[in-house]
Amino acid sequence: MARELRRPAKVVDLHADTFLSDWEDYDADELLAESLELLRETLDAAIYWEYTEIRFIHGKGKGTLRREVYNELESYKSSGAIASFHPSYQNEDIVVVHIGL
């Protein structure tokens, strides 16, 4: 039997304190890795469910999470898995990912 991915939210906050109850126990690199894993899992599910768009909140901070999120999205775009991505026009702390054309 094929595994079915859970339908993701249309807006996903990548800040670790929103999805990890014990986030204080992680160091910065581990938190970044967890956030990127959530991005991948959620984006893969959105592609599976044929979403046309999904938004990820990466915030301001030092820009480390934003930079890594954009790097990850660039690899998805290069592979043809997504059509495009850009900062939200309303809030640059959010990236809008266009999955289909």
C-beta separation of 95 from 72 below 8 A: no
List, for residues 66-95, the tens digit of each pLDDT value.
999 999 999 999 999 999 999 999 999 999
Q: What is the mean pLDDT of the chain?
A: 93
d(CA 31, CA 27): 6
What is the arithmetic mean of pLDDT over 12-39? 95
What is the arithmetic mean of pLDDT over 23-44? 95
99 alpha-carbon distance from chain centroid: 12
Q: Which pLDDT score is estimated for 43?
A: 97
Q: Which pLDDT score is estimated for 1?
A: 44
